[in-house]
Structure 1
Amino acid sequence: MSAPAAPSAPHVGAGASTRAERTIEAARVLRRQENRRRAFYLALSIATPIVLVLLWELCSRTEILDSRFFPPPSEIAATAVGMAGDGELWTHTWPTLMRLLIGGGLGAICGVAVGLLMGTFRPLNAAFGPLFAALYPLPKIAIFPILLMIFGPTELPKMIAVFITTFFVMQISTVAGVRAIDSKLLEAGAAYGARGLDRFRFVVLPGSLPFIFSGLRTATGTAVVVVTAVEFTGASTTGLGYLIWNSWQLFMPEKMYVGLVVIGLIGAVLTWLLGGFEKLVLPWRR
């Protein structure tokens, strides 16, 4: 009696092919669900502020809110268009933006550099860590009068105030990022021969980048607050902070709200750009 025939190879291959097709189809379903979820969250993030603005408009028009203090958003928008047309808006927006980009940018670069050095070299951190920890809680706006006495009512004190703000935030975030690197990653780098500059490039810097970007977002928001505060003072006659303060003094609420909206947009756009840059630099975190 002949032995039973063994299963043919084509049947095995067909089964594997079917499993692979099911896996691919399941991945496609998950991808479609994730895309729908993202689209829903995007629509929700856009619809929420629109609904709130419409409610504000309705409440202001029906006198539920006092229109003297809360003018309708349509009037604020018309004021913004008029200020943009005659150049007043750009006169105040450009100086604020330059103070943020120059002072904040240099502060972030120096803060990251010092933080990496202090996180890598323990004696340096032991020498300067307590000093920086004591200086960080000091309100940066409190030292602005000292800067005015030294440098006078020029652009330099405003940029230095923003520089100091971003420097300390980035220094602390970077040191924390270096210290948070998993020791197993350092050991793996040493096992593969990473020494000196290679250890810094391939282990220390990539491992601390998530903390650096988190610090950048925090520093951006803090820098916007500080630059607005220093522009409130009599040492400045330009900037969105000056626009807000001067409009309050002259009781021009529409212009005051224009300044508030623009300074908020600047902070939001800078934060969004940092988020996009983070995704580009850290693709493995997606």
Structure 2
Amino acid sequence: MTGFSMSATPHSASEPREHLDTAIEREYRRARFLRRRDLTLAILTPIVLLIAWELAARTGLLDPRLFTPPSAIAVRGWQMIVTGTLWIDVFSTVARLIAGFVSGAILGIVVGLLMGVWRPLRAALDPTFTALYALPKIAILPLLLLIFGLTETPKILSVTISVFFVVQINTLAGIMQIDSRITEAARAYKASGFRLFRYVLVPAALPSIMTGLRVSAGMAVIVITAVEFVASNNGLGYLIWNSWQLFQPDSMFVGLIAVSLIGAISTGLVILLERAMLPWRHGRGPRKKGKTT
């Protein structure tokens, strides 16, 4: 009996390890399947919609004079790319977007952090910022045009103001939601002034700051497109509006698609920045366990 129990012990001890390896392998395969399924759905959905649009326009379910088939839009887009007319509008919009977004984001982060750590500044500015945030940003454009004229400044400032309020509000919220026990513990370890600001407050508020940047990236694209509708003679907003006035739906759809791509790219770049700065919020999920000897 003693010999039997001693020989059975190693075998019974290895069973939980085998079950654990099996569970890890099964979870890894499930996670890999879900990633592939999500990627497939993300690719197939727009393709199916485009095919349905093409068939509906070709069969008369949609008026092709208003809803140009995707194939015709692609031909028109290629013509505009080859001739260079589309690039002029894209570069104009992107330049204004970058200038306005970067300046608005920097100002929003700085002001939000200062309001979060300095109570008198928060008391002085918070009511005013709350009222100004509710004001439609495109409504400020006539005032900016009166001050700066038909230059690039009003267009860039419209984006700057829109981005500023979104980022400032999220940055301030990130500072205000920090647990007081964290700051007390930091001060107990002699963290004060710039060290407290650099190593405690900013990292704790960073998730909220990145959320503000993601939201404001899409808003910036909307604002610059709307501004170019009425106060520009180039840019994608001008292309869309002018094409509508001239009843050129194929060119209009090219502009709409270009704006959508710029919005997606802008948001994607912010997401990549967020993944780089907040890696703990974007875990890779289960990994396949390596073979052990």
* TM-score, structure 2 normalization: 0.90
Which residue is equivalent to 2:171? Answer: 174
* Matched residue, 1:115: 112
Which runs of no fewer than 5 residues in structure 2 stay unpaired?
Answer: 283-293
Equivalent of 1:256, from 236, 252, 260?
252
Offset of residue 9 of structure 1: 9.3
- Check if 1:62 corresponds to 2:87: no
Report whether the alignment pairs 1:200 with 2:197.
Answer: yes
Q: Are 2:74 and 1:77 equivalent residues in the alignment?
A: yes
By how many angstroms is 1:19 displaced? 3.2
Q: 2: CA distance between counterparts of 1:6 and 1:197?
A: 69
Following TM superposition, by how much is the alpha carbon of 1:249 offset from its aligned partner in structure 2, in angstroms?
A: 0.5
1:42 corresponds to which residue? 39
User: What's the CA shift for 1:46?
Assistant: 1.1
Q: Say yes or no: does 1:279 pair with 2:275.
A: yes
Question: Of 262, 267, 290, which aligns to 1:266?
Answer: 262
Residue 210 of structure 2 aligns with an amino acid whose one-letter code is F
Q: Which of 187, 206, 211 pairs up with 1:209?
A: 206
TM-score (norm 1): 0.92
CA offset at residue 277 of structure 1? 1.5
Q: Is the contact between residue 218 and residue 266 of structure 2 (CA under 8 Å) also seen in structure 1?
A: no
Give 1:17 shift: 5.2
Give the secondary-structure state (helix, strand or coil) at the position aligned to 2:135. Answer: coil
What letter is aligned with 2:24?
A: A
Q: Secondary structure at the match of 1:276?
A: helix
Shift of 1:221: 1.2
Per the alignment, residue 233 of structure 2 pairs with: 237
More displaced 10-residue stretch of structure 1: 241-250 or 34-43: 34-43
Shift of 1:136: 0.8
Residues 124 and 257 of structure 1: is their aligned pair in 2 closer, same or farther, counting only changes over 3 Å? Answer: same
- Mapped partners of 1:109, 1:17: distance in 2: 57
1:45-66 CA deviation, whole Å, 9 max, x = no partner?
1111110111000000001001
Structure 1 residue aligned with 2:152: 155
What's the secondary structure of 2:68's corresponding residue?
coil
Q: Structure 1 CA distance, aligned partners of 2:218 and 2:155?
A: 16
CA RMSD between the two structures: 2.1
Q: CA deviation at 1:123?
A: 1.4
Query: Partners in 1 of 2:278 and 2:249 — Cα distance?
Result: 43
Q: Distance in 2 between matches of 1:246 and 1:132?
A: 35
Are the equivalent residues in 1 in contact too, given 2:218–2:263 (CA < 8 A)? Answer: yes
Distance 1:260 1:11, change over 3 A: same
- Give the distance between the partners of 1:275 and 1:10, measured in 2 at CA: 56
User: Alpha-carbon deviations, 1:193-227, whole Å to 9, x = none?
Assistant: 33222222222111111111111111111111110
Q: How many aligned residue pairs are there?
A: 282
Unpaired runs of 5+ residues, structure 1, are none
CA drift of 1:191 comes to 3.8
Larger RCO (CA under 8 A, 6+ residues apart)? 2
Change (3 A) 1:276 1:71: same
Whole-angstrom distance in 2 between the partners of 1:45 and 1:69: 27
Closer, same or farther: CA 196–15 of 1 in aligned 2, 3 Å: farther
The aligned residue for residue 94 of structure 1 is 91
Q: Aligned AA for 2:260?
A: G
